Amino acid sequence: MAAYLGGPEPGDLIEIFRPAYQHWALYLGDGYIINVAPIDEGSTSAFASAASVFSRKARVRMQLLKDVVGNDTYRVNNKYDDIYPPLPVKDIIRRAQRLIGQEVSYDVLGSNCEHFVTSLRYGKAVSGQADTAVTAMAVTTVAAGVVTLLSFLRSRTRERQY
């Protein structure tokens, strides 16, 4: 995973560490980022980005990085650079600027803030957070199915014994 020391450069992915998850933004330059935020929230706080988890729509916003980060921490994390070549910076910024103010679909697993910024940087929407969540749900579902099946088989075995 590539994480960089120093200040962000235009086109960099910014990973913001919220208490229960990471929020993602793309650095535009001059202290500004672009990110998705819930439509019904004007706030730039952690609460606003947490609210987007429960929303099906989001608005693309250009905001000051320091306002979006608030009291949380962040780092530059262009973590997919070894897998997907970044687009030229001028193209990343141009694509991002065209989206400012637009309403977009939002889905934690299929179209979240990390998907949004990786699509701008790489031309491909990817999200490690979403992949981890899907894997965890699949493992939980399989485990629950195995427990249910074993319970069923055990109860049938007991019925036959009597």
Q: Report how far residue 153's alpha carbon sits from residue 121's, in angstroms, rounded to the nearest whole number.
A: 51
What does the CA dihedral 3, 5, 11, 15 come to, rounded to 10 degrees?
50
* Structural domain containing residue 144: 127-162
Question: Do both 100 and 135 map to the same domain?
Answer: no
Q: Can 145 be counted among the known catalytic residues? A: no
Q: Can 23 be counted among the known catalytic residues? A: yes
pLDDT in tens, 116-150: 999 999 999 999 764 444 444 444 555 555 556 66
pLDDT in tens, 3-44: 445 689 999 999 999 998 899 999 999 999 999 987 765 444
Tally of domains within the chain: 2
Catalytic residue, from 16, 21, 23, 111: name it.
23
Catalytic residue, from 36, 96, 113, 120: name it.
113
Question: Do both 99 and 49 map to the same domain?
Answer: yes
pTM of the model: 0.70
Indicate whether 162 belongs to any domain: yes
Note every long-range contact of 130-135, with CB atoms under 8 Å and residues 24 or more positions apart, other chains counting: 133/108, 133/109, 134/109
Residue from 81, 83, 128 nearest 109 by CA = 128
Indicate whether 156 belongs to any domain: yes
